[in-house]
Amino acid sequence: MGTLSDCQIRGLVEEGSVLSDAPWGARQVQPSSLDLRLGPTAYRLRSSFLPLSTPVSDILQDLSLYSVDLRTSAHLERGAVYLVPLMETLNLPPGLSAKANPKSSTGRLDVFTRVITETGDRFDDISSGYSGRLYLEVFSRSFSLRVSQGLALCQVRFFEKRHFLSEETLLDRHRQSPLFFSEGGSCGENPYDRITEGALYLGVKLTGMPIIGFRARHDAGILSLVPGDQQRATEFWEAIPSPSKGELVLEPEKFYLFASSAKIRVPIDLAAEMLPFDAAAGEIRTHYAGFFDPGFGMSGEGARGVLEVRPHDVPFRIVDGQPVFKLRYEKMEREPDLPYGAAIGSNYTHQGLNLSRYFINDFFEQVPL
């Protein structure tokens, strides 16, 4: 009982439970997920939707304004809704379910993606034994995008039954081998970094670095996600220097990137997922992707989580260490053959405040961890 690892996902491919319109990519199978790739056509929609009892193809006839050919580099406009049939289709065996989420590099761009299934009634949830096509809704809030066929913006995980660790088990695991390190290498210097309600309850880092965050520029040009393309970070982001009082007022409906106050560790027999933050603790959204593979941060005293933050409705003040997200751990069905890390070319192995891999960080040669 638990989330399937890389070797088991490859088994699903070999037995025909996961199919593709194109040859499989060399790094498409990740330690605990499978990358899903854009097909050749995107449809500009009048609105988002859930299929419910109506096939997606029928709804497209009503909602589609025009199609975009992704076989050559194409533009997706900021603030517009698109639906892209994916290259991969599923033929899951009875009892096996799946859940999709944006890739980390996607979430850090303020690009909102959600997977839709035929006649599905929920985004990103793929029901037990599902057989059929997969579609990706793409909505970019900060930047217009250049994309191409085969680009992976989201990933999917498979499980028969997810097994989340209880608070008692988390505390035991943390005592044996820390799941997080607060400032100075201790396991609890920040009073807000703690294990409660079956999750890690962690804060935001606003001091100790020359740049403590980034805010998306709304006057930026087109951001290319085409493989091989990279852009200068200063053309798309504004750097936020460390505030003198360790506090910052966030503007409503602006998109920010910050680092977690603690460094996080995910043992190779576990995976972790950020939970939607309780609105009672502030009207902010704190993640788009928020999934951590087995092995994340295990090469040392952890790696910081990057927080994708968007305040809603009113300006919102945050202070150094203030808790802004929860991290829930779940068991893997078995340990992955290749856990997260440098050996498989993972993009954020020793991350601090890292921008998405599509940028050359020209603010500093390296943002300190």
In sequence order, what are the beta bridge partners of 263? Answer: 181, 304
- Structure tokens given for 201: 């309850």
Q: Give the H or E element holding residue 230.
A: none
Give the pLDDT means over successive 10-residue stretches in the chain (369 positions): 94 97 92 97 97 93 96 93 98 96 92 94 95 97 96 96 95 94 60 85 90 94 92 95 92 93 94 75 62 89 89 90 90 94 61 85 60
CA 109, CA 216: separation in Å to the nearest integer? 8
- Structure tokens given for 345: 């070319």
In sequence order, what are the beta bridge partners of 196? Answer: 199
Residues ≥6 apart with Cβ < 8 Å to 115 = 36, 86, 100, 123, 124, 126, 134, 135, 136, 137, 154, 156
Considering the domain 6-159 in this protein, what is its CATH number? 2.70.40.10
In Å, what is the CA distance from 127 to each residue of 32, 90, 289?
18, 11, 20
pLDDT digits (tens, 9 = 90+) for 278-322: 555 555 666 666 789 999 999 878 899 899 998 888 899 999 998
Looking at domain 167-360, which CATH architecture does it have? Answer: Distorted Sandwich (2.70)
- Structure tokens given for 244: 């003198």
Amino acid at 245: K
Cβ(96)–Cβ(160) under 8 Å? yes
CA 138, CA 126: separation in Å to the nearest integer? 18
Q: 6-159 and 167-360 share one CATH topology?
A: yes
The position carrying tokens 């006839």 is: 61
- Strands 237-241, 180-181: pairing kind: unpaired
Q: What percent of the chain has pLDDT over 90?
A: 70
Listed residue (25, 88, 129) closest to 344, CA to CA: 25
Give me the pLDDT at residue 363, please: 84
Would you put residue 110 in left (φ > 0), alpha (ψ -120 to 50) or beta?
left
CA 256, CA 311: separation in Å to the nearest integer? 9
CA 182, CA 259: separation in Å to the nearest integer? 12
pLDDT digits (tens, 9 = 90+) for 209-268: 889 999 999 899 999 999 888 899 999 999 999 998 999 999 999 999 999 999 999 999
Can you list the alpha helix ranges (DSSP code H) found in the chain? 6-14, 56-63, 104-107, 167-176
CA 337, CA 344: separation in Å to the nearest integer? 11
Listed residue (100, 214, 80) closest to 147, CA to CA: 80
The position carrying tokens 């300006």 is: 315
Give me the pLDDT at residue 186, please: 46
In Å, what is the CA distance from 216 to each residue of 43, 109, 239, 253, 286?
26, 8, 9, 11, 15
Give me the pLDDT at residue 185, please: 46
Q: How far apart are the first and last CA of the chain?
A: 36
**Residue 195 phi/psi, 5° resolution?**
-100, 120
Cβ(159)–Cβ(98) under 8 Å? yes
Give me the pLDDT at residue 344, please: 59
Burial of residue 273 (number of CB atoms within 10 Å: 0-12, 13-18, 19+): buried
Global pTM?
A: 0.92
Which residue ranges make up each domain of the chain?
6-159, 167-360
